[in-house]
Amino acid sequence: MDLQLTGKTAVVTGASRGIGLAIAEYLTSEGMRVLGTARTVTPQLAALGGPAFSVDLSRPDGGKRLVSHALEELGGIDVLINNVGGGVEGVDLAEGFLSLDDATWQRSLDINLLSAVRVTRAALPSIIERRGAIVNISSIGARASYHPVDYGVAKAGLTNLSKALSEEFGPRGVRVNTVTPGPTLTQNWKDPEGYAGDLAKAAGLGYDEFMARLPATMGISTGRLAEPAEVAALVAFLASPLAGSITGADYRVDGGVLKAV
């Protein structure tokens, strides 16, 4: 299927690995000029051959710096993918709401919500001019009780932001949608010493046993975690002219984890 994206430009945040890298790869394969950004430009991101930019988007000046660089490199922005996000380093998975201080909350909001606010604010003039599209990458944590709570709350704000932007800027030709992944087979789940390993230890299980049980434990109807490329394919479609009448929507790629209508 030709997504009619050849020659258009895109900025993908959090593009060094995982879902962000898969999105950057997919858009590049569709003929887009993609600027990928992350705090650290990985060899995998550099290997895509497009411009890459190292920036910490949790900092107040990060969004302006990124967009200024993107406009110089690309000449304009047709598509913005706000993918950067994640848990706050140093937060113990066993800790609950009462253990999260103001600094932790602020860090989580900066990473998972305000980064998108700042990048979008800086990029919108160009996106409006080109009647482009924005896709925000949220999480199933935005739709259900989630631990750690700061992450879920921040992602819920991002999902709400998408809807608000779609209403305000739709009449000016800009489409804004949300993609909400569930458990996805990124390094977080592949690494026995990382996030999945910590969850396994908390459950009193070895890593392999924990991962074998995970689909059933989480109620994943498909029986497996999603692949980053599956999320990327949906993002590319929503960014394309073929989705010209889709805006203000939230699409889940969660294997059926969330059971409510």
What is the end-to-end Cα distance of the chain in Å, rounded? 30
Q: What beta strand segments (E) does the chain contain?
A: 9-13, 33-38, 52-54, 79-82, 133-137, 175-181, 250-253
Q: What is the pLDDT of residues 36-83, one digit of tens each?
A: 999 999 999 999 999 999 999 999 999 999 999 999 999 999 999 999
Structural domain boundaries of the chain? 9-184+227-253, 185-225
Which amino acid, 241? P
Share of the chain above pLDDT 90, in %: 92
Task: Report, as residue numbers or ranges, the catalytic residues.
Answer: 151
Asked if the model's pLDDT at residue 248 lies above 70, the reply is: yes
Report yes or no: 101 and 141 within 8 Å, Cβ to Cβ.
Answer: no
What is the per-residue pLDDT for 92? 65
Report yes or no: 249 and 235 within 8 Å, Cβ to Cβ.
Answer: no
- Average pLDDT along the chain: 96
pTM of the predicted structure, to 2 decimals:
0.96
Residue with tokens 């898969």: 22
Which amino acid, 172? R
CA 19, CA 236: separation in Å to the nearest integer? 12
Residue with tokens 């932007």: 165
Report yes or no: 34 and 12 within 8 Å, Cβ to Cβ.
Answer: yes
CATH second-level architecture of 9-184+227-253?
A: 3-Layer(aba) Sandwich (3.40)
Q: What is the pLDDT of residues 164-200, one digit of tens each?
A: 999 999 999 999 999 999 999 999 899 999 889 988 9
